[in-house]
Structure 1
Amino acid sequence: MPEPVEEQAGWGVRGISPFSEETRAPFDIRLREPYTQLIAQFNAYMVDNMKATNFRDEHALKGAFVSNKLLRLVDLIADQGDDLLREAEITVPARAVACTLFIGEKDQVSLADIAKALDEPHQLSAQRVEGLIRLGLLERRDDPKDRRRKVLRLTKNGKVQYQRLCVRLAEIEQAFNDLYAEIDHDLSAILDGAIDALRRTPLLERIRKHATKAEASDKNQKAR
């Protein structure tokens, strides 16, 4: 079940799912435990029943379903990313990895700083921050330069997690480099190129250009 593409977080491009920590947070604490159990069962079912290929992959028009394949890659990387965090005893949620990294590098930042740096909605950044505060990894303080402004800093435990995270991210980067060597393609560079190309020329414009060329070619054939 693909998630809406809305953010660059954790291990890939992922949006807020109805099963995400961000969406669960507002629920009453009395409802959260059975809800969490339901999510765990759902995730286990998806892992057990997810096929390597599906109808789209075997269809004659499979080339039109690139987005579905990318979402499945995102889900696969995200699932493996969760294992990577647990194995390294990192309690930072996968979706808050980039947020934690940014705060750790800047020492103290505002919520607006985080939203701008991660290029995401203010509300989404706020949800990540509140989650890190609940975990005891982040604290909110008055800005000594401006009492009207709040700043965010990692706690002592948060700094420990930040150091572990830096080590693990370096290992993950190397693992991806090994993957690129194995498949003989720099996937990150390819994705950057595809994103830039689609921003320059959207799919609809490409379809229209193709139709115009086909129409011109058909007229030339008839003229002969």
Structure 2
Amino acid sequence: MEDFVHSQGVIWLPHILRRLSNRFVEACDQVFEEFGLIVPHNAVSVVHFLYAHGPQPVMAIAQATTQSHPLINSYVRTLKTLSVAQTHIDPADRRRTIVSLTDLGLEQARALLAARDAFVPAYRRLMGEADAEVFEGLWRLEAALRERPFAERVRAERVIKT
């Protein structure tokens, strides 16, 4: 049976990107335990960032990972529940929450780094098999969307057509 989304063309770009993301996420859910990982796939960047930079305010994590402050707060709550991270109020600015890794969090960060030895070649091999070296192109797309949001681009096309 023909893939309906594929048959519709580029209009479904967000859908196919979501499908691909879901496949990678499902794979992470399947294999993380094999690597001794309890960190949820969506919080991996937070753990890596804290491991690389030490304790950080929530806003700094959000800026560094280009994710929203509320989203980072939800990841931090999850990481705290798992005893991977801990928080304290910044004594210099009581409005700021500082996040740090616990001993378990440090172990998880090291396990995540070790998992790269399997994940990176698997991603590269997949891109090679599919003849789709998309990694750098995806970063360029993201940068272009930061420069000019997609909604603005759609509105401009609508004006051109009328």
Structure 2-normalised TM-score? Answer: 0.81
Letter in 1 for 2:69: H
> Residue 70 of structure 2 is aligned with which of 108, 123, 145?
123
Q: What is aligned with 1:56? A: 5
Deviations 1:82-137 (A, max 9, x none): 12312211000111111111111111111121122122221111111111111111
Partners of 1:65 and 1:197 lie apart in 2 by 19
Sequence identity (%): 23
Give me the whole-angstrom Cα distance separating, in 1, the residues matched to 2:10 and 2:88.
51
1:99 aligns with 2:46: yes
Q: How far apart, in 1, do the equivalents of 2:66 and 2:144 lie?
A: 20
CA offsets, 1:188-208, max 9 Å, x none? 122233445565582453566
Describe the shift of the 1:150–1:73 C-alpha distance in structure 2 as closer, same or farther (beyond 3 A): closer
Matched residue, 2:82: 135
Whole-Å Cα distance in 1 between the matches of residues 35 and 69 of structure 2?
Answer: 30
> Could you say which residue in structure 1 is the equivalent of 2:131?
184
Distance 1:53 1:139, change over 3 A: farther
Aligned residue for 1:146, secondary structure, equals coil
**Alpha-carbon shift at residue 142 of structure 1 (Å):** 4.8
**Structure 2 matches for 1:70-109, cutoff 5 A?**
70-109=17-56
User: Which amino acid is the alignment partner of residue 146 of structure 1?
Assistant: A
Deviation at 1:155, TM superposition (A): 0.8
Q: What amino acid is aligned across from residue 82 of structure 1 in structure 2?
A: D
Distance 2:142 2:77 in 1: 31
SS of the residue corresponding to residue 83 of structure 2 reads coil
Q: Structure 2: which 5+ runs fail to align? A: none
Query: Which residue does 1:155 correspond to in 2?
Result: 102
Name structure 1 gaps, 5 residues minimum. 1-51, 213-224
Q: Separation in 2 of the partners of 1:78 and 1:125?
A: 18
Map 1:6-25 → 2, pairs under 5 A:
none
- Distance of aligned partners of 1:78 and 1:53 in 2 relative to their CA distance in 1, 3 Å threshold: farther
Look at both structures and tell me which one has the larger radius of gyration over its CA atoms.
1
Q: Alpha carbons of 1:55 and 1:107: their partners in 2 closer, same or farther (altered >3 Å)?
A: same
SS at 1:140 equivalent: strand
Number of aligned residue pairs: 157
TM-score by length of 1: 0.61
Distance 1:131 1:163 in 2: 19
